[in-house]
Amino acid sequence: MVTQPWVTVTAPASVPYRYGLFSAAAVLDPVDTREFVAGVQWEQLCLDAPAAALAPDVPGPRPPMELEADVEMAHAGPPIRLYTGLVSALPGREDLIEQARQKLTLIEQQSVEHYAWTGEAGNRPRLADPSTEVLGGSAQPRDVLTGVGLLEAFISDRTGSIGVLWAPRFTASQLTGAQLTRVEGPRTVAPLGNPIVFAHTSGVGPDGQVPASGEAWLYATGPVMVRRGPVSLPTLPQALSTVNNEVFAVAQRPYLVGWGCAQAAVKVRLPQAA
């Protein structure tokens, strides 16, 4: 009996998942890498609607106008530094380094979502922060229709612009079934047009606790920015261990995630548990 060796073929094409953080945020790859040492800051235009109105024209002095003292600063930092790769006993393969890059490309979005939500990498800002405003002043769950409405009203009140809603990825079917989402190009958006990040996360709340079955924490923020540094890769000689003749191929990349003005949370009952 003749035994034929295995035939190596090209793997099925892998496409990064849809409707995550990179679909809702401005994703930038800046040239200046100094920001990935300490973080970044920027001026933001925030508000608290409605704006003040002038008094009617009547005889006598007008009340003085009152304006905010200065422009608020938003901060993002320290950076999140991700790495992934593979170890192989086939040192002659030049494609191992490229495979490490591909693995990072496939895992970076959901990883950054997780750390931006939980802050487990020491990064700030984070959604699950004790300072996050809980809408309604209580952690008692609201029905999902009311919860999404409160978050979208919060965004318009505090930013005057399109912001971002954040929801655990496992809630996508429930929110879609409740007709709270629609697809606009590469994004999924809520009724008032705010893009939704269906994030890879356990869904912890501002108190750090995972909600009970049938419940979920949803968040709202101002516009979100993701800044990525260059991918760091070794050369094949650098990755080769002469001790055991194995290749340690690792890809690394720094990220900064930030948003402006304010953030809020609401706990909701998912439709199937209502």
What is the tens place of the pLDDT at every residue in 105-145? 999 999 999 999 999 999 999 999 999 999 988 778 999 99
Q: Mean pLDDT, to the nearest integer, of 259-271?
A: 93
Q: Mean pLDDT, to the nearest integer, of 242-251?
A: 88
Share of the chain above pLDDT 70, in %: 97
Q: Is the pLDDT of residue 273 over 60?
A: no
Interval 162-187: pLDDT, tens? 999 999 999 999 999 999 999 999 99
Give the strand pairing for 240-241 and 246-259: antiparallel
Contact 132, 219 (CB under 8 A): yes
Distance from chain centroid for Cα 62: 46
- Enumerate the H helices of the chain as residue ranges: 21-24, 35-38, 95-118, 144-159, 172-177, 236-239
In the prediction, which pLDDT does 193 show?
Answer: 97
In the prediction, which pLDDT does 274 show?
Answer: 43
Q: Is the pLDDT of residue 11 over 70?
A: yes
Q: Is the pLDDT of residue 198 over 90?
A: yes
